[in-house]
Amino acid sequence: MASSVSEPTGAAPRPVIGLTTYLEQATSGVWDVPAAFLPKVYFDAVARGGGLAVLIPPQPIDAAGADAILDGLDGLIITGGKDVDSRRYGQQPHPTNDEPRLDRDALEDALLERAIARDMPFLGICRGLQVLNTMLGGSLIQHLPDAIGSTRYNAGGGVFTPNPAITVPGTRAAALLGERVTVQSYHHQAIDEVADGLTVSARGDDGVIQAVDVDALTFGVAVQWHPEEDAAEDARLFAALVEAAAAYRDNRKARA
């Protein structure tokens, strides 16, 4: 069956953006099975930014498999989700940590490594920032309330909390968002040691790292908050990713 969504006559195809997904036990009708899924707000945000969303389920993968996936994409988003395995950065897990999702860690590592190698536009969201930092050799604060004395970033119960992010002049985050933006938070971990190759591009008013730029990428930004939850404030991140993805696609075609 043909899709009901079509491109305007004469318009360039919309850039294709891959988004990683959760693999969790899920119930639908009579079924209660492991399933890959992603909240609709993520791919709605990509569509508003002018892109086409493609969902990538956790699966065994190597570098060649990652390249095969990325060959069909113009940009990549590593989405939010469960805590990254603390053994990646040499620490025992905090009692509050989620059970690690090793299949997802491995998939996202492979995709990110190959995306950076080919200079593919990238946006990391919450867990996506943490995967990026730990893949490149950085570490995490495993439970922010132990460090800052409050639960301001994680109210629990699926309730996002507003917090300020103050950008660093001269960074991509500052160019996209201005000096200060109110963000939607839902995380109990954050970057501790910043990996080589990343530049801190935003902090909270308490010093917690809220965003980084990926130095090696023409467009690479990762944020600790959930921009998909605020179409008004954070649409610029998705629009900028899609714009960069269109340029990446065109450059790839020109080299072919």
228 labelled catalytic: yes
226 labelled catalytic: yes
Dihedral (C-alpha) 237, 212, 105, 160: value to the nearest 10 degrees?
Answer: -60
Which candidate in 108, 187, 188, 226 is catalytic? 226
Q: Which helix (H) or strand (E) holds 234?
A: helix 231-255
Strands of 72-207, DSSP E: 75-78, 122-125, 140-141, 161-167, 180-185, 190-191, 198-203
Dihedral (C-alpha) 142, 145, 148, 153: value to the nearest 10 degrees?
Answer: 90
Rounded to an integer, what is the distance from CA 66 to the centroid of its chain? Answer: 17
Which candidate in 108, 187, 228, 229 is catalytic? 228
179 labelled catalytic: no
Which candidate in 126, 187, 188, 229 is catalytic? 126
Active site residues: 126, 226, 228
